[in-house]
Amino acid sequence: MTISLHDVDGEHSLTWGTGGLAADAAVAAAGHEPNGYFWEGLVQFAWPDIAERLDFDSEAGMFCAVGSSSDLMELKAAVEPVITSPEAARDIIARAETSGFEFDD
């Protein structure tokens, strides 16, 4: 799994392919589909201060956020430990469900 930062004609994006992530089993066990839309929701819940400065263009097979390179680098640093850790993903999902957050997966 690779999180990629892109710069195309001055537009910055951060992407990663879904499926095959270390956290997928924990996401599925919590009753969610570990697709790009799920990860978009997790980002919006866990890091709302970053998420509000980004635009999202996720798909079933890919997470995609568009924004400034500094915001995307901040998001990459925050999310990388989560998508590689079933325990971290479970913790955020549990906090989201307790708060009534609805994932759109």
Which tens digit of pLDDT belongs to each residue from 49-81?
999 999 999 999 999 999 999 999 999 999 999
Residues 6+ apart with CB under 8 A from 12: 5, 6, 66, 67, 68, 69, 72
**Average pLDDT for residues 11-40, to the nearest whole number?**
95
Q: Is the pLDDT of residue 91 over 90?
A: yes
- Say how many residues make up the chain: 105
Written as one string, the DSSP assignment of 6-43 is: EEETTEEEEEEE-SS-TTHHHHHHTT---SHHHHHHHH
- Helix (H) or strand (E) holding 79, with range, is helix 69-83
